[in-house]
Structure 1
Amino acid sequence: MGALAALIVFAGVWGSWGSAQHVLLPKGREQGTVRVAACAGGTCSGPFSPTSAGARARARVELPESVAVRKGRTYDVVLKPGTAQGLRSGPAGMLYAWVPLGGALLLASVVVAGGMRLTRLAWVLGLAGLGLLTAAFVAVQ
């Protein structure tokens, strides 16, 4: 059960790192703002205005609509290298990038409590996951 709980947490870190690496380590990546002009099909898009050295303006950058993105608002973003896909940066982007880890911590807490009978550790894992998910929800609003 311990190996299963560790695997679940590792999978959460692995799932989060794909986006988190761009948000947490933005040095050398294009950074700027996107003013959302349109939303359709699960993505929102708008013009990109660079704020970092070496970044270039773009007519269209896409953001996932699931990140509490609203038409007409401006968001700080980091672009994934070689793409026109933006990821929210700043505290909201950092917390949102780690949402898969929050879910994994919640799931691992159930495995630890039920399979290993370590209730204190399970409470710590569960509250850490719940805290991460709640903080991300509050930050992206």
Structure 2
Amino acid sequence: MSFVTDYPAASPAVAIAHFQKLLSVETDCADVAVALKSGDQDFVLLHVIGSPEAYARQHVPGAIHLPHRQISAERMAEWPEDTVFVAYCAGPHCNGADQAALKIARLGRPVKIMIGGIMGWEDEGHGFATGSEPGSLLAIAAE
């Protein structure tokens, strides 16, 4: 018996419930990139860490800079109630996206995190936008 099977695998029903729950709160860089490139963006992408200067140096195209500490009911009121938010931070070593997602969920809004964050986006070879605005989606159209 290997270390892998020291603990028996879950039943298919348990696995389905687990992964369905996981995918309801997470998305990945590839799926976000496809949505941005295809124009099928049905979510608001939030860059939830760093200073305005850090955001201006590098962010995922189309992302709005809203640090998790600035998330409030008043700020979320800028979007319709059923808006889905996708938060990202620096990467696996950062919990800014988790903090943002918790605040957004507590405000009664649907939310996911983009696993991998900036590091994952870069690792997958996607381009970044610069400047103080969300940036053009054209920055990733050439990929």
TM-score above 0.5, yes or no:
no
Q: Which has the higher helix share?
A: 1
* TM-score normalised to structure 1 length: 0.30
Q: Which has the higher strand share?
A: 1
* TM-score normalised to structure 2 length: 0.30
Q: Which has the larger radius of gyration?
A: 1
